Amino acid sequence: GLTGNKGWKPHWRSPEPQSEYDIIIIGGGGHGLSTAYHLAAKYTDKRIAVLEKGYIGGGNVGRNTTIVRANYFLKGNSEFYSHSLKLWERMEKDLNYNAMHSQRGILNLFHSDGQRDAAARRGNMMVNQGDDAILLDREGVRDILPYLDYDNIRFPVYGALYHKRGGTARHDAVAWGYARGADQRGVDIIQNCEVTGIDIENGVVKGVQTSKGPIKAKKVGMVVAGRSSQVAAMAGMQVPIESTVLQAFVTEGLKPVLDNVVTFGMGHFYISQSDKGGLVFGGDIDMYASYAQRGNLPTTEHVIDAAMTLMPMIGKAKLLRSWGGIMDMSPDGSPVIDKTHVEGLYLNCGWNYGGFKAVPASGDCFAHLIAKDEPHPVAEKFRLDRFRTGHGIMDEEGTGSQHN
């Protein structure tokens, strides 16, 4: 049995923090670990630490519904997520780690002529970006998803935008893979180490205060997802982020029944089947600001209503459990990867519902920014000041992209 195997080693070390680093990354979620990995892999000779207040995989990176895709509509997002999907496609090889990345295809259903037009426009943008998109009619969808409710009069299925390279991945394996890869390249991953203050002198970052004592640093990256407002406030910043709960649900394990990822176009609902057999699904955020990692029943009811409308067969499955994570919602639904007003202090936040698929590119681009002090070409529109200048990237109408 598992307990009998005494030869297994931890995937990463558990060092005590040093008194000083070149670069400190605050937050050991997917984005923080990916940033540390890309920094250590590309910009060697730097002493790097990731400071995580809890444990690796305990945040949103281990709580999401694992959907990975590159089907955005607007410039800014489309090239970034295209880059991210390419990094997903080589991640397991790069990390030598099985993240169970499964390109099983995503079908975004549409239910009206207007939605079909929007899907066609989005599909064209995806193809122009170099990614894949196929517009399916109703019979094309029926071939792939015969169990949907095609007789539904209120929300008839008109067709779907089919993104074959989209799919899922094992979320916590992604965190573990990046953690191990960063550790192997010399990054100190320090768990149970909460950052409680940011030391700034004459407009220049000098280090951080933590639950394990002060640590000096030349550069500091804030990558704390749902806690972005709180950590940025330590540097005197008020960021345009609201933290809200997003719930997810899983049924008991079933035999293979759902081969793809499916999203419902007339409500917030998306679903796939995990390799263990559970139907994994989610919907919209609980519509109030909160730092609780659990949601409330009205949203649960709303999500399950949508599930029953789309695929009545789900009613036979038993719901096993549900959970929540804290979303860092930005005003336009797009992220921020930018410098701050403090020299040496950088901000990565605003991933909304959709930051899991961004993990590889976000780390790559944030590492680039921190190391070179200039934005990576595919992330140059993710400026913090766009909310002041009016250059928001409001992708939702075109894509439904903030739904998962």
What token pair was written down for 117?
């037009």
User: 353 — phi, psi (to 5°)?
Assistant: -80, -10
Q: Can you tell me whether residue 372 is helix, strand or coil?
A: helix
Smallest distance from the beta carbon of 159 to ligand FAD, in angstroms? Answer: 22
Among 177, 181, 265, 325, binds ligand FAD (CB under 6 A): 325
User: 48 — phi, psi (to 5°)?
Assistant: -125, 140
CA dist 44 and 326 (Å) reads: 33
Q: Is 31 in the site for ligand FAD (CB under 6 A)?
A: yes
CB nearer ligand FAD, residue 136 or residue 246? 246
Smallest distance from the beta carbon of 141 to ligand FAD, in angstroms? Answer: 21
CB nearer ligand FAD, residue 28 or residue 221? 28
**Number of Cβ within a 10 Å radius of residue 8:** 7
CA dist 129 and 109 (Å) reads: 21
Residue type, 280: V
Q: Is 38 in the site for ligand FAD (CB under 6 A)?
A: no
CB nearer ligand FAD, residue 19 or residue 202? 19
249 neighbors 271 (Cβ within 8 angstroms): no
Among 70, 161, 225, 239, binds ligand FAD (CB under 6 A): 225
**Number of Cβ within a 10 Å radius of residue 237:** 18
Q: Is 66 in the site for ligand FAD (CB under 6 A)?
A: yes
CB nearer ligand FAD, residue 32 or residue 400? 32
263 neighbors 290 (Cβ within 8 angstroms): no
- Length of the chain in terms of residues written: 404
CB nearer ligand FAD, residue 116 or residue 268? 268
Q: Is 60 in the site for ligand FAD (CB under 6 A)?
A: yes
56 neighbors 178 (Cβ within 8 angstroms): no
Smallest distance from the beta carbon of 350 to ligand FAD, in angstroms? Answer: 9
CA dist 284 and 353 (Å) reads: 9
Among 178, 351, 366, 382, binds ligand FAD (CB under 6 A): 351
Task: Report DSSP state, residue 239.
Answer: -
Segment lying near ligand FAD (by CB under 6 A), choices 13-21, 23-31, 39-47, 111-119: 23-31
The rounded radius of gyration (Å) of the Cα atoms in the chain is 21
CB nearer ligand FAD, residue 326 or residue 384? 326
H or E stretch covering 282:
strand 279-289
CB nearer ligand FAD, residue 106 or residue 314? 106
Closest CA to 33 of 68, 60, 67, 1: 60
Q: Is 173 in the site for ligand FAD (CB under 6 A)?
A: no
Contact letters (x/-) for ligand FAD, 239-258, by CB under 6 A? Answer: -------xxx----------
Task: Report DSSP state, residue 289.
Answer: E
93 neighbors 62 (Cβ within 8 angstroms): no
Q: Is 290 in the site for ligand FAD (CB under 6 A)?
A: no
Among 13, 14, 15, 54, binds ligand FAD (CB under 6 A): 54
Segment lying near ligand FAD (by CB under 6 A), choices 222-230, 250-258, 312-320, 381-389: 222-230
CA dist 119 and 74 (Å) reads: 13
Smallest distance from the beta carbon of 29 to ligand FAD, in angstroms? Answer: 2
Q: Is 26 in the site for ligand FAD (CB under 6 A)?
A: yes
Closest CA to 366 of 36, 10, 63, 22: 36
Contact letters (x/-) for ligand FAD, 270-289, by CB under 6 A? Answer: ------------x-------
Query: What are the CA-CA distances from residue 128 to residues 84, 131, 136, 360, 397 (Å)?
Result: 16, 7, 18, 22, 19
Q: Is 163 in the site for ligand FAD (CB under 6 A)?
A: no
CB nearer ligand FAD, residue 124 or residue 192? 192
CB nearer ligand FAD, residue 51 or residue 342? 51
CA dist 158 and 140 (Å) reads: 10
Smallest distance from the beta carbon of 150 to ligand FAD, in angstroms? Answer: 26
Q: Is 267 in the site for ligand FAD (CB under 6 A)?
A: no
Chain positions contacting ligand FAD, by CB under 6 A: 26-32, 51-54, 58-61, 63-67, 194-195, 223-227, 231, 246-248, 282, 325, 351, 353-357, 404
